[in-house]
Structure 1
Amino acid sequence: MKAISYRRYGGPEVLEFGERPMPRTGPDSVLVKVVAAAVNPVDWKCREGRLAPVLDAVFPVVPGWDLSGVVVRPGVSVPEFSEGDEVIGYVREDFLSRGTFAEYVAAPVRTLARKPRNLGFEEAAGLPLAGLTAYQVITQGLGGVGHGDTVLIHAAAGGVGSLAVQLARHFGARVIGTGSASSHPYLRALGAEPVTYGEGLAERVRALAPDGVSAVVDCVGGEALEASVPVLAEGGRIASVADPGVAALGGRYLFVRPNTADLYRLSELAEEEVVSVRVARVLPLERAAEAHRLSEEGHPQGKIVVSVADAG
């Protein structure tokens, strides 16, 4: 099968397009023909070796954790899926090796859910990791939000942030979202009140919420996280998906995990048109290095997706 892989840590230049062995399907896994795979910042961070302290790499590594595709063969102990089912997946294991930038993936059943019927494969590929991160940071990291809450979301136009805006609004919260000036029309369309990030952020947020915000979703870390403290109302909650240092501020750090029930709920919310995925760019599998570079440059205002179905 055709796939992208890398034999050592490094920049986008270490990504190779070529043949890899077909994966074997274990009892609890599902052989999926991949149609599309989304690029996430964690992909190039893994490629650079930044996650080496927590994730072993079995080289050569096929990158990618997001996919949309079609079931070819379910494992012998997997009654949930049948040949021909359209699925999405956040296919993360506890080591790096068997990623989704490939024509076929043997995905653990715990990482999959049925694809939203109203989304194309490219849109659907951008939902699992970003959607699960947004859903889990709100429901678990913050303990939920609802009517009466004002939620500040940093990097609200990004992959995770834009879905967090949609979910928080669905749950009934008021949302203030940080982003560049060029992203403000998009944020307004999502239902957020936009503010420009950078120096003076706290004052701009206070102008919109004089009594402070009741919750913060941080997708940036560093200065953005520090700027959240002065605008947090008494008893407010902070959760970050970007900076473990949030714990020192009394908040919670969340690293997204595969969860079938959560992924099915996201699929339902997509079908109910509560959440949507904006695709900024689609590139063929053989141009995965370019896709990684675009992700590293930041501010795509939508998901970067690799089309796998016609690889090579």
Structure 2
Amino acid sequence: MASPQPSITIPHFMRAWTLTHRGLPRDILQLSSHYPVPQVDSETAVLIRISHVALHPGTIIMMTLAPSLLRRFPSIAETDFSGTVVAVGAQVPVSATSHPGRYFSPGTAVFGSVPVSKHLQGCGALAEYVVVDVTQIARKPVNMSFAAAAGLPVSGATALALLDALPAPPDARARVLVNGACGGIGHFVTQLLATRENPATIMGTCSESSAEVARTCGCHEVLDYRNLTGREKLAFDAIIDAFGSQALWRDAARWLKPGQGHVYVSVGPALEAYTVAGAVAALVRQVLNRFMPVWMGGVDREYKQVLSVVDAGKLERLRQLAEEGRLETWIGGTWAFENAMQAFEILLGRHAKGKLVVRVQDLAPGED
């Protein structure tokens, strides 16, 4: 039995960006104005009226490459959202007395993410309503807007995974290189490094036009990513590759100190093209980066690749970091719901700054 918020009438249909087959967003996404509103389907499920959605490249990979046998169509695009709880299952905690910090009575402002398994079954966030399990949401940070909170889940959780993969937290004696310091993941990594007690010296790579953003996020030095080749040797204690540059990894012996405790941590090689061939090539590079011995041409440095799953624990860490003032979302642009395709085009261009956010709908009085 679902418990709705009395002041909000839940409609039977909603607007949603949907797809019925694989492909790039421009070729397959359609704006439906008559899509059924999902129902609370378990005792731990939550129905959320979505305010904002943040795009990320992982959903485009699924959109273009996930085999049709693994997907259910029609499907709604995207996974990361913010919004307001409007109905909950019987076992969802609604009282601060029994569940401090994790209670979600109707009217609660939240952020979260649709898990990959559910997303492949058709559930998505680029719509006016979404149903997810309570483990996939957290209360919106009190000092963050809905737009900013929508950008936290996947990119923020991946930033945490990159830092957790380091052998030890870097201190004031260390120098750290952050590749892609202004991107959706990288700007979170930079902030988390910069706001530590006794922070390391941070050099960030980005485009020349984004240098000021990188400094605002916490970089002490900024380097144009196009000018890495041929530079003098710079000795870093760690490299955090938030973009997935194969060229940087192949040249890592010039940038990263040798020996135990010095590691190259990456999100994995970026896809050169959203094609099956591009995906296979990226998988091959992942394996070779990790296992190719030096005598066969491998790089003489330790390589780690992270894979992050959004769950309640990571969402609560992100909420706490945001409320402590250690984490802000740099919004590279906001688009109205009907103009979402413009945001996808910028994301596909691979030079987005921060997070690209779609405003799904304005909040009703009392929902903020």
User: 1:152: which partner in 2?
Assistant: 177
- 1:170 CA displacement: 2.1
Please give the alpha-carbon distance, in whole angstroms, between the structure 2 residues aligned to 1:295 and 1:241.
17
Q: Report if the CA contact (8 A) 1:13-1:289 is conserved.
A: no
Please give the alpha-carbon distance, in whole angstroms, between the structure 1 residues aligned to 2:334 and 2:346.
11
Please give the alpha-carbon distance, in whole angstroms, between the structure 1 residues aligned to 2:167 and 2:77.
32
Q: How does 1:103-122 map to 2 (within 5 A)?
A: 103-122=128-147
Q: How does 1:1-312 map to 2 (within 5 A)?
A: 1-11=14-24, 12-18=26-32, 19-25=34-40, 26-49=42-65, 51-52=66-67, 56-79=70-93, 80-95=103-118, 96=120, 97-139=122-164, 141-147=165-171, 148-171=173-196, 172-192=199-219, 193-198=221-226, 200-201=228-229, 203=231, 206=233, 209=234, 212-218=235-241, 219-234=243-258, 235=260, 236-243=262-269, 244-245=286-287, 246-248=289-291, 250-310=302-362
AA aligned opposite 1:43: T
Please give the alpha-carbon distance, in whole angstroms, between the structure 2 residues aligned to 1:195 and 1:177.
6
- 1:280 CA displacement: 1.8
Q: Report if the CA contact (8 A) 1:8-1:14 is conserved.
A: yes
| Aligned CA-pair RMSD | 2.1
Deviation sequence 1:81-129 (CA, Å, 0-9, x none): 1111111102223251201001111112221111111111111111111
AA aligned opposite 2:177: L
Identity within the alignment, %: 29
Comparing 167-176 with 241-250, which one deviates more in the overlay?
A: 241-250
Which consecutive residues of structure 2, in runs of 5 or more, have no partner in the other structure?
A: 1-13, 94-102, 270-285, 292-298, 364-368
Please give the alpha-carbon distance, in whole angstroms, between the structure 1 residues aligned to 2:88 and 2:176.
41
Deviation sequence 1:217-269 (CA, Å, 0-9, x none): 11223212222233111221121113234423542211220121221121121
Q: Report if the CA contact (8 A) 2:162-2:240 is conserved.
A: yes
Q: Report if the CA contact (8 A) 2:207-2:226 is conserved.
A: no
TM-score (norm 1): 0.90
AA aligned opposite 1:37: V
Q: Report if the CA contact (8 A) 1:145-1:173 is conserved.
A: no
- 1:199 CA displacement: 5.1
Which consecutive residues of structure 1, in runs of 5 or more, have no partner in the other structure?
A: none
Please give the alpha-carbon distance, in whole angstroms, between the structure 1 residues aligned to 2:135 and 2:78.
17
TM-score (norm 2): 0.77
- 1:31 CA displacement: 0.9
Larger Rg: 2
- 1:21 CA displacement: 1.6
- 1:185 CA displacement: 1.7
Change (3 A) 1:143 1:58: farther
Partner SS for 2:239:
strand
Change (3 A) 1:215 1:161: same
User: 2:98: which partner in 1?
Assistant: none
Partner SS for 2:39:
coil
Change (3 A) 1:36 1:199: same
Partner SS for 2:90:
coil
Please give the alpha-carbon distance, in whole angstroms, between the structure 1 residues aligned to 2:268 and 2:329.
21
- 1:202 CA displacement: 6.5
AA aligned opposite 1:64: E
Partner SS for 1:94:
helix
Q: Report if the CA contact (8 A) 1:110-1:258 is conserved.
A: no
Kindly tell me the number of residue pairs found equivalent between the two proteins: 303
Partner SS for 2:257:
strand
Please give the alpha-carbon distance, in whole angstroms, between the structure 1 residues aligned to 2:166 and 2:45.
32
Deviation sequence 1:170-204 (CA, Å, 0-9, x none): 23222111111111122122221111223544735
Q: Report if the CA contact (8 A) 2:15-2:31 is conserved.
A: yes
Q: Report if the CA contact (8 A) 1:137-1:239 is conserved.
A: yes
Q: Report if the CA contact (8 A) 2:192-2:326 is conserved.
A: yes
Q: Report if the CA contact (8 A) 1:3-1:20 is conserved.
A: yes
Q: Report if the CA contact (8 A) 1:116-1:124 is conserved.
A: yes
